[in-house]
């Protein structure tokens, strides 16, 4: 667990997923780097000071749909051993519900009952994998739950379908916790659960709201035109921010997953600030980095974005912990927010105030 030099209230454990070290393919061009084996990625995580890994179900067991349940459990145990050998934990396993031909038109909200059934059964297998990896936290990014044209689905029914699917999972495993990761668009044109407010509201509709929380991703908030630190604060006010996907995003473009703080340092500072002021991590919440390296990056240095993002977080944590709180209180009391603005900028730039 990383410690700040100054006394931090939060407890910060860092994680990322195997998909965060990739081969650089994009919709306009092929891979530009060679794949790195899972076992190597796990070792790299340890070397870079990470405490755990995040997974999709088929990161743990490739080609999941073609294997027997016994085989899936056997392969999951192998990954658990790899993690144990490095002293790493699995933060969560997420069902990858956007790749199969059966989820082209959505998973739990697919218009075909047999395809919805596939998505529910696949998620139950994901829950079993979670159990083998000794985590009860399942992140659900509702990638294709939404539409390209509104008339193709009934949006009210979609919400209820997701609720019913979640109820089935909560009943399937009494220890399970679901973390909803909202995103407003991409791959679908408009997602049915686009923001953290929607995610939290949906959680309250389930049979056990105490086991449904959320994960805020920086880029997803920005794509929704919202401020990520406010979204995190909203989740924290409900005690429902159970994970984060920190990264950065240059406005309304494609989902960039840039290194944390690389576009807007002050926005990153404020994300660390709301987490630290809450005492994030004391209930076991993780700091996940959902970052992607630039396509231009060469093979041997294709994980720098992860180490850099973690370091930027710790640097900003130091900035949060060394803020002059008396001065801040005086400026707030005097309602001199221009001066507060100047003080924050000086503090971030390391200038004498």
Give CA–CA dist 310/1, Å, rounded: 12
With contacts defined by CB under 6 A, how many residues of the chain interact with ligand GLO?
A: 10
Does residue 183 belong to the site contacting ligand GLO (CB under 6 A)? yes
Count other C-beta atoms under 10 Å from residue 230's C-beta.
15
* Structure-block tokens of residue 143: 């990638």
Give CA–CA dist 353/336, Å, rounded: 15
In whole angstroms, the minimum distance from the beta carbon of 170 to Mg ion comes to 22
One residue of 51, 57, 58, 217 binding ligand GLO per CB under 6 A: 217
Does residue 231 belong to the site contacting ligand GLO (CB under 6 A)? no
Give CA–CA dist 178/19, Å, rounded: 21
Secondary structure letter of residue 202 according to DSSP: H
Alpha helices in 206-351 (DSSP H): 218-223, 228-237, 265-278, 304-321, 325-333, 337-349
**Contact set for Mg ion, span 279-338 (CB under 5 A):** 290
Does residue 217 belong to the site contacting Mg ion (CB under 5 A)? yes
Burial (CB count <10 Å: 0-12, 13-18, 19+), residue 161: buried
Sign of CA dihedral 11, 287, 210, 221: positive
**Contact set for ligand GLO, span 306-325 (CB under 6 A):** none
What is the Cα gyration radius of the chain? Answer: 20
Does residue 255 belong to the site contacting ligand GLO (CB under 6 A)? yes
Residue 217 makes CB contacts below 8 A (sequence gap 6+) with 181, 183, 228, 244, 245, 246, 247, 290
Does residue 248 belong to the site contacting ligand GLO (CB under 6 A)? no
| Nearer residue to ligand GLO within complex by CB, 245 or 310 | 245
In whole angstroms, the minimum distance from the beta carbon of 133 to ligand GLO comes to 15
Residue 79 contact partner, candidates ligand GLO, Mg ion, none, CB within 5 to 8 A by sort of partner: none
| Nearer residue to ligand GLO within complex by CB, 203 or 319 | 203
Residue 94 contact partner, candidates ligand GLO, Mg ion, none, CB within 5 to 8 A by sort of partner: ligand GLO
Q: Which stretch binds Mg ion (CB under 5 A): 142-150, 216-224, 236-244, 262-270?
A: 216-224
Q: What x-and-dash track marks residues 75-104 binding ligand GLO by CB under 6 A?
A: -------------------x----------
Does residue 181 belong to the site contacting ligand GLO (CB under 6 A)? yes
Does residue 290 belong to the site contacting ligand GLO (CB under 6 A)? yes
DSSP bridge pairs for 244: 216, 287
Does residue 139 belong to the site contacting ligand GLO (CB under 6 A)? yes
- For 82-132, give the DSSP string: HHHHHT-EEEEEE---SSSGGGTT-STT-SSHHHHHHHHHHHHHHHHHHHH
One residue of 240, 245, 258, 319 binding Mg ion per CB under 5 A: 245
In whole angstroms, the minimum distance from the beta carbon of 7 to ligand GLO comes to 31
* Structure-block tokens of residue 263: 């576009």
In whole angstroms, the minimum distance from the beta carbon of 145 to ligand GLO comes to 13
Residues near ligand GLO (CB under 6 A) are: 56, 94, 139, 141, 181, 183, 217, 245, 255, 290
Residues near Mg ion (CB under 5 A) are: 217, 245, 290
């Amino acid at each position: 667990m990383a410690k700040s030099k100054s006394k931090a209230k939060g407890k910060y454990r860092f994680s990322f997923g195997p998909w965060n070290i990739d081969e650089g393919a994009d919709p306009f061009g092929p891979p530009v780097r060679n794949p790195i084996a899972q076992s190597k990625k796990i070792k790299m995580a340890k070397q870079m000071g990470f405490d755990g890994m995040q997974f999709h179900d088929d990161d743990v067991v490739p080609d999941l749909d073609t294997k027997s349940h016994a085989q899936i459990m056997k392969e999951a145990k192998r990954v658990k051993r790899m993690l144990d050998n490095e002293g790493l934990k699995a933060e969560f396993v997420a069902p990858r519900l956007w790749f199969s031909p059966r989820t082209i038109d959505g998973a739990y909200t697919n218009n075909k009952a047999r395809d919805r059934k596939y998505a529910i059964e696949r998620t139950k297998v994901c829950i079993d994998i979670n159990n083998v990896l000794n985590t009860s936290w399942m992140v659900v990014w509702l990638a294709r739950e939404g539409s390209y044209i509104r008339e193709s689905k009934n949006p009210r029914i979609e919400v209820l379908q997701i609720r019913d699917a979640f109820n089935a999972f909560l009943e399937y495993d009494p220890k399970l916790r679901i973390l909803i990761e909202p995103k407003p668009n991409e791959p679908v044109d408009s997602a049915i659960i686009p923001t953290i407010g929607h995610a939290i509201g949906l959680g309250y509709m389930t049979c056990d709201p105490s086991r449904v929380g959320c994960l805020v991703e920086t880029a997803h908030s920005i794509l929704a035109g919202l401020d990520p630190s406010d979204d995190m604060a909203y989740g924290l006010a409900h005690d429902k921010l159970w994970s984060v996907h920190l990264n950065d995003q240059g406005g309304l473009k494609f989902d960039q997953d840039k290194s944390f703080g690389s576009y807007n340092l002050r926005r990153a500072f404020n994300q660390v600030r709301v987490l630290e002021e809450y005492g994030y991590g004391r209930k076991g919440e993780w700091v996940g980095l959902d970052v992607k390296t630039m396509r231009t990056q060469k093979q041997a240095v294709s994980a720098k974005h992860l180490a850099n993002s973690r370091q930027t977080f710790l640097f900003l944590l130091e900035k949060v912990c060394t803020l002059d709180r008396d001065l801040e209180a005086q400026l707030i009391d005097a309602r001199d927010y221009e001066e507060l603005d100047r003080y924050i900028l000086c503090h971030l730039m390391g200038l004498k105030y």
